Amino acid sequence: MTENNFFGMVYEVVKLIPYGRVTSYGAIAAYLGAKSSSRMVGWALNVSHGPFSEIPAHRVVNRNGILSGKAHFGGDRMQTLLEQEGILVNNDKIVNFKEVFWDPKELEKEMLKG
């Protein structure tokens, strides 16, 4: 937890994504202080993507709300998972993206609130 590794940090953040919410690679990267390395976030997920992975990677999309990683989930697995959480997906893109978007920095707000 809160590993010093970039990967570990990504896992922690992604696992903290609330139900029915999504975030972007850039948001996570920025939260980790590596906004310029948003690719590393997706890359980390790629490695983390496994049968024992409890990481809701399907809640992570690019800044456009497009299911860029859908192909890696296999078929429409990613879209199905999102729809099950009440997220509207159309044409491999989240319709109400701004509605369900969740920024990792929200964590700090929750911390302040208690």
Partner DNA sequence: GTGGTGACGACAC
Partner DNA sequence: GGTGTCGCCACCA
Binding interface with DNA (CB under 7 A): 5-7, 24-27, 29, 34-43, 45-46, 48-49, 57-58, 60, 62-64, 68-69, 72-73, 78
Residue with smaller CB distance to DNA, 91 or 113: 91
Judged on CB neighbours under 10 Å (0-12, 13-18, 19+), 105 is exposed
Query: Closest distance between DNA and the C-beta of residue 17, in Å?
Result: 12
Query: Closest distance between DNA and the C-beta of residue 16, in Å?
Result: 16
Query: Closest distance between DNA and the C-beta of residue 111, in Å?
Result: 24
Residue with smaller CB distance to DNA, 63 or 105: 63
Q: How many Å apart are CA 73 and CA 58, to the nearest integer?
A: 8
Residue with smaller CB distance to DNA, 3 or 110: 3
Query: Closest distance between DNA and the C-beta of residue 82, in Å?
Result: 11
Q: How many Å apart are CA 38 and CA 14, to the nearest integer?
A: 14
DSSP 33-44: T-GGGHHHHHHH
Q: Cα 29–34–38 angle (5° rounding)?
A: 45
Judged on CB neighbours under 10 Å (0-12, 13-18, 19+), 84 is exposed
Residue with smaller CB distance to DNA, 46 or 84: 46
